[in-house]
Structures are given as C-alpha cells and as structure tokens.
Amino acid sequence: DLVPIDQRRKKLHNMVEDLKGSIRVFCRVRPLSKKETGQGDSSICEAVDQMTVKVKEEQFLFDAVFTPGTQDEVFEDCRDLVQSAADGYNVTMFAYGQTGAGKTFTMYGTKGNEGTAPRTIQEIFRVTAQGSDRFSYTVSGSMLELYCNNIVDLLSKANPSQSKAKLNIRQEKNGNVSVEGLVEEECSTADELMALLERGNEQRTVAATAMNSESSRSHLVLIIKIISVNKETKEVLKGKMLMCDLAGSERLKKSEVTEHQQTEAIAINKSLTALGDVIEALTKGGKGVVPYRNHKLTMLMQDSLGGTAKTLMFVNCSPASSNLDETFMSLKYAQRAKKITNTATKK
C-alpha cells in the first residue's frame, strides 16, 4: 500500500524531534541514461511506495525513496536540518553510492537545478537573517578532500601537489573535532559561501590532475560552521554542518590494472567499510565502542555522527540492469544504517 505523502512528512517531522544519534536514510534512484537505454538496459529498481524500493525481489525500507524526485522535493525533506545546525546541533549529510549513481547531482546539482549543498547555503542565510533580532550569527566554510588517507585543503592557496603535507585531525576535550591548519573563511552572504564552494571545486580538479586521479576517487567534505550568540544572555551555540560527497563505492574493476588505481580502490574500500562499521555500531544504540578511530573519514565525522548529531544519508542508485550488483550492494550497505534491519523481506 502507498504511504500518503502527509503521513511520510509527519513521520519525518517526528523523527527529527528525537533524532538524537539516529540516522535518516533517503534512497534516490536516478533515471536511466540515454546510453543505458541505448544499450538495452532496463530498470531494476521498483518503488513499492514512498519509502520502499524493491530490487531482485528484495524490499528495502528507508525514510524516503525518490525515483528520482526533484531537487526541490529532496531539499524539502532536508530543510529542517539547517535549522538544527543554526540551533547548535552538528549535522551530517552524505551521499553514498557507485560512481555515476547521482551523488554529486544530489549534493551539488547543476546550475539552475541546484542540489542540497547550494540550497543549504541559501537556507542558512535565510534562517540566520530571520533570527538576527535575537542572535548574532557567524558563518564560516572549509572544504577538503580525503584522498588515499590524506587530507587535502581545497581552500589553501598552496600548490595542490605539495598540499599533501599531512593535515592532522584533532579532537578537543569537549569532543569537537578539528583539522589542524585547515583554512576556514568567514562568509557574510550566501554568495560568498557559494563562491568559496566553487573555488574549492576548481581546486579539487587541479588537485586530482596533480595526483593523477579523478574526483570520484576521493571523498569531498564541505564544512559549514554556524556560531550564534544570544544577544540578551550572551549564550554561545556552535553548530556545524558536514556535507560529504563520498568516493564511488564500486568494487575494484577488472580494468583497473595499475598499482595506482588498485591503491586508490583499496583506500576507498577501507574508508567506506570503516564508515559502515561506525554506522552499524551507532544503530545498535551506541552500546560498546563506536570505532571512529579506525579511519580518518570517521574521525572527521566523529562529532557529527552519533551522539546528539543529526545524520542524513543518501544512498544513490543506478536503476540500470547492468549495475544490478552494485545497486544491490549499496542498498544492503544503507540498510545497515536503519535500526529495523529485518524489514527486507524475501518473497
């Protein structure tokens, strides 16, 4: 049966109210490309209702399923997270999936059809303008990529081939995570923050070329901090949004023959496995040790994943029959993030 849209929104709202430590997962299935249609691919993903997708006779339940939905619709279900960040929460949004599945489209989108990051930026400045009679806000941005276990500062003016200089992750006593020496620029308008994002993206291309790689082989992380000071009480709240466009989750391809490509693939696999392990530990109620320290990716996210942080995971899927195995594996990975793990019913 179809879940009515207002019922889904109500559920989302309730989840936000007590989202502490839990992880919201949205599945987004992109359309078949012309090339795929041309080569005879058919669609293997069936949306059973607004929260369920079926692949290979197996059903996967998420907080929302978009097939693919519009950028507007997707953002409507993310918008509340921006308010949370302005209220002093740490928020993470990340996109998981194989290369070509729609991660960058979802996170960044295209000119005129912007994804969640540009919309988040607009929303941050709308929310902070709205609250400006009671609070004074400071917004700042940083951008980095994690490539083969090295953090590359995308806003640093240094030559990207030299910026491999190791940046270390520090955890302060209060639990806050920071990257030592990472450029952090204050932005007073949405345009300024957008310009920063574009600069980081350009730098990423330069860095990829210098490292003889592609952007799909690294994790891209945009960090936006929002500090608010209550004008009356002087109380200070620090919120942070981490937006990650993860490296492609596909397994090593047979065509990836060079040692360099294999090293990259192994590094990606290690990091995504570490992330999956952290997510699984968190969904078990955080009892026992959450293995954040297994990887730089999860160390970066330590204060933004679990605890009181609010997390939204996108699992981006290709519907093409030729991508069946990767799509199925992505859905399985994403399903680990849901508390109810026994909803996948085999028929």
Residues that bind ligand ADP (CB under 6 A): 30-31, 68, 97, 99-105, 216, 316
* Cβ nearer to Mg ion, comparing 52 with 120: 120
Interacting partner of 100 out of ligand ADP, Mg ion, none (Cβ under 5 to 8 A depending on kind): ligand ADP
Interacting partner of 31 out of ligand ADP, Mg ion, none (Cβ under 5 to 8 A depending on kind): ligand ADP
Shortest distance in whole angstroms from residue 138 CB to ligand ADP: 31
Per-residue 3-state assignment (H helix, E strand, C coil) for 201-266: HHHHHHHHHHCCCCHHHCEEEEEEEEEEEECCCCCEEEEEEEEEECCCCCCCCCCCCCHHHHHHHH
Shortest distance in whole angstroms from residue 235 CB to ligand ADP: 40
For 180, the token pair is 């030592």
Interacting partner of 128 out of ligand ADP, Mg ion, none (Cβ under 5 to 8 A depending on kind): none
Residue nearest ligand ADP, Cβ-based? 102
CA dist list (Å): 299 to 24, 73, 169, 240, 305: 20, 31, 7, 15, 10
For 147, the token pair is 């490539």
* Cβ nearer to ligand ADP, comparing 89 with 96: 96
* Cβ nearer to ligand ADP, comparing 30 with 204: 30
* Cβ nearer to ligand ADP, comparing 128 with 316: 316
Shortest distance in whole angstroms from residue 16 CB to ligand ADP: 24
CA distance 20 to 164: 35
Cis-peptide into 31, omega within 30 deg: no
Interacting partner of 68 out of ligand ADP, Mg ion, none (Cβ under 5 to 8 A depending on kind): ligand ADP
Interacting partner of 30 out of Mg ion, ligand ADP, none (Cβ under 5 to 8 A depending on kind): ligand ADP
* Cβ nearer to Mg ion, comparing 139 with 334: 334
Shortest distance in whole angstroms from residue 245 CB to ligand ADP: 7
Shortest distance in whole angstroms from residue 111 CB to ligand ADP: 12
Interacting partner of 200 out of ligand ADP, Mg ion, none (Cβ under 5 to 8 A depending on kind): none
CA dist list (Å): 89 to 11, 21, 125, 336: 20, 11, 16, 24
Interacting partner of 261 out of ligand ADP, Mg ion, none (Cβ under 5 to 8 A depending on kind): none
* Cβ nearer to ligand ADP, comparing 22 with 323: 323
Among residues 196, 285, 178, 327, the alpha carbon closest in space to that of 242 is found at 178
CA distance 139 to 239: 10
Per-residue 3-state assignment (H helix, E strand, C coil) for 80-144: HHHHHHHCCCEEEEEEECCCCCCHHHHHCEECCEECHHHHHHHHHHHHHHHCCCCEEEEEEEEEE
Shortest distance in whole angstroms from residue 131 CB to ligand ADP: 32
| Residue keyed to tokens 């919201």 | 24
Shortest distance in whole angstroms from residue 102 CB to ligand ADP: 3
* Cβ nearer to Mg ion, comparing 104 with 283: 104
* Cβ nearer to Mg ion, comparing 125 with 314: 314
- The number of angstroms, rounded, from the C-alpha of 228 to the middle of its chain's C-alpha atoms is 24
- State the residues that interact with Mg ion by CB under 5 A: 103-104
CA distance 222 to 145: 9
The answer to whether 204 and 145 are in contact (CB under 8 A) is yes
CA distance 239 to 309: 10
Interacting partner of 319 out of ligand ADP, Mg ion, none (Cβ under 5 to 8 A depending on kind): none
Shortest distance in whole angstroms from residue 136 CB to ligand ADP: 37
Name the helix (H) or strand (E) containing 315. strand 310-317
